Structures are given as C-alpha cells and as structure tokens.
Chain A
Amino acid sequence: MNIFLEIKNTSIGYSEPLISDISTSLELGEVCLLMGNNGIGKTTLIKSILGQNKLLNGEISIKGKSIQKLNPNEIASQIAIVFSKAEITDNYTVTDLILLGKYIHYPYYFKLNEKDKSEIDNIIDKLNLAQFRNKKLTELSDGNLQKVFIGRALAQNSPFIILDEPTTHLDEENKLMILSLIRNLAKYENKLILFSSHDWRLAKEFSDKIWWLKDKKLISGISEEIILNNPELITSKILDFNENFHPPEIDAPKLEKEMMFSFLQKNFASDLKKFKLTFKNDKWELKTECFYDNYHTLSEIKQSLQNLINIDIPS
C-alpha cells in the first residue's frame, strides 16, 4: 500500500465538531467521491486537508508528514485545488489562468522558463482549449471555464488534486466530460483525485472510493460496497414524495421503470396497485384482471388510467 493521504482520529469543525473520529486514507491513482448533504462539512473537510482550517483533534498527513508541520508552499506543491467558485476578472485570458499553476514554483513569478511555457501549451492542447487560448475567462462557457481551472491545477504539478463540486452548474454533456477527464488524470497520470458532488448517479461511475459524510461521521470504502450497504443512497426521496400514491406493478428495464414511476407519481394520487404495466417491444401493456391494452406513449397510459379509475375497475 502506498498511502498518500492519511487522516487519523480527526475531528473537524469550528466551535463544535461537524465530523468526528475520521480515520481513512487514500493512495495515488485513486478517485474518491466526497458526498454529503449541504452544510454537513464537505468544504470544511477539504479546507482542513489543505491546512486552511485548524483540526479540532487528530492528524492529517501527506506522505507521512503532518499538514500542520508543512508551510503553505509545501502543501501547494502536494495539493492543487479547484474550487466551485472563483472570482474571475476581466483581465485574465485562458493562458494567464493556466500559467498561474506555476505560481508556487517561482520566487517572484516574473517570467516563466521555456520548459514551463511549453508545458502550459501542452496542457491547453490536451484539454482541447487551443482555440480559446487568448480568450478572456468571462467569454467562456461554464464547462470550458471549469476545464481551464482544472488546467491550472494540472500546471501546478501536484500529485493530489481536490475538486470542490466540479460538476455543479454544468449540463450533462459537460459533466461527463469533466468526470472523464478527472478519471483519466488518476488512471494515466497517477494523480490522487478527491472531488465532491451531490450527484451520486454520475459520480458512482467514475470514483473508486466514496467518502460519505452522514450523521457527523465519515463512512469510507469502495464505491460499490458503500452503495450496496447503504441503499438509501439510491432511493432518492425525490422519487417518493406523494404519500397518497401507491404504484402499480411495473415490469420494465431499470430506466423505463424509474421513468414510469416518476410519471405516475406526478399525475396520480391514488392506489394503482390493481394495475400492471409491462414494457415489451417498445410498447407498454396495461393490464388488470378484466382489462388489457397496448400503448406507445405515456400520455395515452395516463388517459387510459384516468378512465379506468373513474370506472372503478374492481381488483
């Protein structure tokens, strides 16, 4: 085991602990998802790892050295951060921002050497940002802006990259792009990646480990094991908000089943247990003991169910 980050018996918080007794570790080449509700302590944990917040007790160490004994430059040489928000100015172009990744490597940051300039050019090309090289940051889309900040973190050459909610405000396409990029950084460049997100569905595809903040504790482990052992992660309350709704039996592949459940819950506040819906050959069959029909669209199903409920078909 080649442990890079180790947290031992640590409590984090301000006047009172937000999360207590954290003991976990991460290795280079791993991608870890940090999950938890708003306000639970994700950003506080990240700031504690960065040495920006004092620990209430315990120790966080990087390659065996305690964070508390490292100065900010030493920490920055090991950890690069991408925050979810940053103050971007009119003055900066894409190149200027990625160049900032070299900030800690120069005593005065007056002029970069040719090797570093060439590295920045490579990063810009690798991230498909060549056409935006001289564009102002304020002219970029959210997805491209996020890539630029990741580029800055790459230019810092730190083995550990932390991303605080990198996919918030992004559409699905950009989310996938950023998450794929993060995954490739870990697998092909042996970086340790820790990123926080609310969206476990996308994130679970890309992370090796999950750190789940819950009830003032940190539950850590392999992603699939954590999800299997904690089914409440999957059953989102968003899908179950209608108390008067009782779903019918739905026999369909996972995605179609979920979509039908959502559709029926939003349109009916009644007991539909006597009905059975089966998805076969791109069609939905609606069946009760004395009724059967096929439909192609959800609207047709809705209409039919409404009629059947009004007629009060016996179970």
Chain B
Amino acid sequence: MKNKFGIICFFIICGIIISFLINLNVGYAKLNFYDFLNSEKENFQIAGFRINRALAMILAGMAIPTSGFLLQEYFKNPLAGPDVLGITSVSSLFVAFYIFFSQNILIPDFLQNSFITLSSILGSVVLMMLLLLFSNRFRDKSFIIIFGFLISALAGAVVSFLQFYVESQSLKNYILWTFGANNQANFSQISILSILVIIGLFFTFKSIKPLIGNSLGSAYAQSFGVSQSKLKISIIVASSILSASVTAFLGPILFIGVVVPHFCRMLWNPAQLWHQWILNIVLGIFIMQVFSIISEISQFPINIITTFFGIPVILLMLVKKNR
C-alpha cells in the first residue's frame, strides 16, 4: 500500500518536472539553457519571466487545491472551494476599488502591481476577520458557506455597479486582472508569495489530524479531544491565506480548488487525509504547469483554461453523485 502511494507520487512528480521544463520553453522567444544562467545574455530577462511564471504555478498549484481540500473536508461538501468563503470575490472587489478610484491618479507603473496586490490582500484580511467574527455566532458551520455566498454576491453586485461609472481603460485593467495573470509576478513578489504559502501550509499541517478527528461529527470529535473552535479558526486562516495570497499576486484562479481534490479522491483512499493533502499538492502543481503551458500556447488567459476544464468535471461530479 505504501509503495503504491509512492509510485503514484513518483509518476506525478515526473510529470511536474517535465511540464516545468516545457513551461520554461514555451513562448515566442526560443531560449536555450544558458539564457537562464547568464545575466549578460540578451534573453536573460525573458528567461526570468518564464522562471517566475513556472514558480508561480508551483505556488498556485500547492495553495489553491490545498485550500479547496481543507474546505471540502471541513464542510464535508465536495463542491466547496475558496470561492465558497467569498475570498476571491472580496479580493476582486478591493482590487476593483483600487483600479476604479485611482483612475485619475498618476501612479508609476512599478507601483501599480504592488498596489493591486496590497488591495487584494487587504480585501482578504477584511473578509477573514469578518468570517472569524461571525463564525463564533454560527452554531451550524454550514452558515459560514451561506455567509460566504452572500458576501460573494454582494461583492459582485458592487463591482458591477462600479463598472458603470469607470473609464474604459480602468475597466479593461480590472477585467485583465480577473483573467488571472500568471506571468506578471516578479521575483520579489514570488518570494513574498512563497512565504505566505508556507505559512498557509503550516496552518494546514496543524489542521490535518483534527480534521481526521472531525470525520464522524462534533460529538465524536469532542471525545477525541478535537477543539471545534480551534479547528474552525485554523481552517479559515489556512484556506484564506492560501487562496488570498495567490489571488493577490496572480489574480483569481477559478475551479482548481474544487476539481483537484476531487481527482485526488479518485486516485487514493479519501479517508487518508495526509495522503490526500500530499496528492493535492503534487497533482495541483502538475495541473497548473500544464494549464500554464496551454495558456501560453493558446494565448488564452489561464482562468478561461481552468473554467473550460473545471465546469465539465464538476458537472460530471454532480451527475455521478445523483446516481
């Protein structure tokens, strides 16, 4: 059994390595090995962009599926994902506020991205605070999903309202951001994103055993020594940090948080959460690398790729569940 899991991971990791290398080679410019190493080379900057892109996909592949996995296990709902908590929507709202209200302010280009990132993070922090505050008042944890859904709807409505009154350039900037900008994060942003993802993964690590103890419901969880309130907080914090940080730096990346955990449950015993988490990470990285390659070749934004992939998979899940 142990060897079988190792073999599955081995093949996926081989896939990651291959797709990573392909990702470094996909693009208009033809690069060779030395372009990545020698800063005096003409294509060194392009090589840097591609490394950033590939690294961003590694981080997104680790973070977003983990966030979805945590939420699906906690809420025992295979359709739960980071969007469920409203993180993506509120991040988008704060980015929209920034883009639309700064349209008449001259901001240097090098600061634009940073401010967009900061707006997104601020939105996620505000939402996380609201979720933690309201979660204490909700006895039934499913109310957290309803709360997140309502917040998403409200955020979407406010963004639509704002779109009526902005200049077309600002609107375009906002829409481009929502497509998922997987190749616009620079190395320092990737570094900050790495730290945030590591923090999120640490909280995830602390949540796995309590999640296992929570499998039979709150009565048994209490008898196992699982603190329901601590588990709720660590799930909200871990999933928020993971999805919010990726959204902040790379834009919203949709459906991956729902679909990757589903594939992992098909590959391995769904009751073994440690194995599921590891699979979510490796499979998530592999899928994001592949989507990044497709996005680069097709020139479609990555969110269109994830949507075209994600929606049929979710529909199949629903049909299978109904049978």
Contact = CB atoms under 8 A, between A and B. Distances in A.
Interface of A: 50, 52, 71-73, 75-76, 79-81, 83, 85-93, 96-97, 100, 103-104, 107-111
Most buried by A among B212, B225, B265: B225
B176 interface: no
Contact of A93 (B216, B225, B265, B271): B271
Leading 9 A-B pairs by shortest Cβ distance: A72-B225, A87-B217, A91-B270, A96-B271, A86-B216, A73-B225, A81-B223, A110-B274, A91-B271
Contacts of B76: 87, 89
A24 B271 CA distance: 41
B223 A50 contact: yes
A156 to B, nearest CB: 9
Contact of A83 (B209, B212, B219): B219
Contact of A76 (B215, B216, B223): B223
B220 interface: yes
Contacts of B225: 71-73, 75-76, 104
A112 to B, nearest CB: 11
23 contacts: A50-B223, A52-B222, A72-B223, A72-B226, A76-B223, A79-B223, A81-B219, A81-B220, A81-B223, A83-B220, A86-B216, A86-B220, A87-B76, A91-B265, A91-B271, A93-B271, A96-B269, A100-B215, A103-B212, A108-B209, A109-B209, A110-B274, A111-B2
A89 B212 CA distance: 12
Residue of B216, B220, B265 with most chain A CB atoms under a 10 A cut-off: B216
A104 B225 CA distance: 8
A89 B58 CA distance: 31
Contact of B219 (A86, A97, A100, A111): A86
Contacts of B265: 91
A87 B216 contact: yes
A50 B272 CA distance: 27
B309 interface: no
Q: From DSSP, what is the main secondary structure of chain A's interface residues? A: loop
B213 interface: yes
Nearest to B271: A96
Given A96-B269, A110-B274, A89 B224 contact: no
A104 B224 contact: yes
Contacts of B2: 111
B1 to A, nearest CB: 10
A90 B215 CA distance: 11
A12 B29 CA distance: 76
Most chain A C-beta atoms within 10 Å of own C-beta, residue among B208, B209, B212, B223: B223
Contacts of A81: 219-220, 223
Contacts of A87: 76, 215-217
Contacts of A109: 209, 212, 274
